[in-house]
Structure 1
């Protein structure tokens, strides 16, 4: 794994504001990229006889994307880059879930780099609607639908962001293992009847699955960003900083606010913004359609929006 920025220690960033960590439970919103197409390496085929036929190149797996390479601006190249990235990401996800152990340790490097490339492409498309529309037309139908959901969600969340120009201090750390979180989500669903995919989408939007550990400027705390008064009412005596306690409290609050009968009403109670509600439901829909999208989102990183552009606080 390449040296990362995600460490359990305070980080000071100049001119930054959180990009997608939105203060939940009626808190005020917090302030919430580019990459070349995947390259293919080739090598000569080995000789098989004393008088071998002409050598032919052997096609290998595409090289992993550079985490800071520019995003293609041309819709055709951008569509190819996204198509290759998503296909490679799905293969990497299958390898991790079948041969690795998402319940322990950190994800492998291919997952991290490919998910980051996917995230950066969607962030770019969210800021460039005309390019996005032309890119959708060049994507396979299924991928075009996925791209529209992710880009629309990113655009909704970015609409809540107010870039800041000043100094801000953020505490970030690695998240709990993906399958540990998955167990917590499913337990909360069994206890309160709130779909685990919705809970996962809320945590993803709020703190990128617990990577952001700083309180919001309004005072929301913990991995699910609870305001103190809301935590007192729905936290059931738990620790607002504890991941399992926070997820149970979120399920408790959403259930009391209308879920699962009316998720829009419940999520609006969690955060008074229709853009927030739309983004959470779009991400939840993607997770429902393919659980591999949960593992991809798990590997998306924390970005900040500044008056001088985006900065990435976690990841490679």
Structure 2
């Protein structure tokens, strides 16, 4: 029987946005470009993105998605081009999650290979998370920070896997769903804190005297908690102990499978932004929020 622990995920708020035992992975995710053949507008297109048509609605969505995913797999991580491409894929998956099945199938059917696998997974996860809350009447009292770089976070996930046995890609997926890999700094309505959103009492149990707001300490604490609740043998049960929601378990598992499949998926997710479902529309909360104003990107 699964034990109900005193941990509270921020997924209720974050769903209003739109995530070998004790050793390194037996094989690293393959870093190969997305390879599929190639209505949504990129929220803040630059000269480079407009030149390839991400914001050109006369170009089929599947073709624009193909280009966006190719950019993520080939352009320098952290570049403006990659940020825009990742945001385009993120908003496309979110929008398609709300579309009729036939419309989703049309877009997916025009993709192939890894592109289709990636988008299909992101649509499925978005559908799970988006039904967990309604649009909110007020913007959150969060700060949106610049997260640690992807090459800085990955060793933290791997270290937690070595020491606890919890697979690294599940830790990264939790980090993605909870705080967009460290972008969100704030306390949930239930009192959860830090990049992995622990209640202080639960962090005291698993944090080994560390700092709840420190990424290394929080990721390690999450690895310990999941291991104590079944990881890696029973990941569904371990994730359910983190957040008592089957939809949460499904979404996190979906993101984790993609990151295990391809290193490019990890890079894509790291670039995803904080999208918040407000009653007036979907808002992007940029780095620097609340001093930097949110941007409405969809009704």
Q: TM-score, normalising length from structure 1?
A: 0.75
Alignment of 1:259-298 (within 5 A): 259-298=231-270
Find the aligned partners of 1:82 and 1:147 in 2 and give their Cα distance.
Answer: 9
| Equivalent position of 2:7 in the other structure | 25
Counterpart contact for 1:116–1:299, Cα < 8 Å: yes
| Offset of residue 283 of structure 1 | 0.6
| Offset of residue 308 of structure 1 | 1.2
| Offset of residue 27 of structure 1 | 4.2
Secondary structure of residue in 2 paired with 1:128: coil
Secondary structure of residue in 2 paired with 1:304: strand
Find the aligned partners of 2:120 and 2:259 in 1 and give their Cα distance.
Answer: 14
| Equivalent position of 2:51 in the other structure | 63
| Offset of residue 294 of structure 1 | 0.5
Secondary structure of residue in 1 paired with 2:283: strand
| Equivalent position of 1:114 in the other structure | 85
Secondary structure of residue in 1 paired with 2:276: strand
| Offset of residue 161 of structure 1 | 2.0
Q: In structure 1, which of residues 190, 197, 201 is the aligned counterpart of residue 169 of structure 2?
A: 197
List 4+ stretches of structure 1 deviating above 4 A: none
| Equivalent position of 1:87 in the other structure | 70
Secondary structure of residue in 2 paired with 1:312: strand
Alignment of 1:1-316 (within 5 A): 25-27=7-9, 29-30=12-13, 31-32=16-17, 34-35=40-41, 63=51, 69=55, 72=57, 77-92=60-75, 95-96=76-77, 107-130=78-101, 131-314=103-286
Aligned residue pairs total 255
| Offset of residue 61 of structure 1 | 9.6
Structure 2: segments with no counterpart, 5+ residues:
1-5, 19-39, 288-294
Find the aligned partners of 2:224 and 2:263 in 1 and give their Cα distance.
Answer: 24
Q: CA RMSD in A?
A: 2.5
Larger Rg: 1
Find the aligned partners of 1:278 and 1:309 in 2 and give their Cα distance.
Answer: 25
- Relative distance call for 1:147 and 1:61 in structure 2 (3 A) is closer
| Offset of residue 26 of structure 1 | 3.9
Counterpart contact for 1:32–1:161, Cα < 8 Å: no
Find the aligned partners of 2:139 and 2:264 in 1 and give their Cα distance.
Answer: 37
Could you list the per-position Cα deviations for residues 86-126 of structure 1 after superposition, in whole angstroms to 9, with x for gaps in the alignment?
A: 1222111xx44xxxxxxxxxx11111111111111111111
| Offset of residue 167 of structure 1 | 5.0
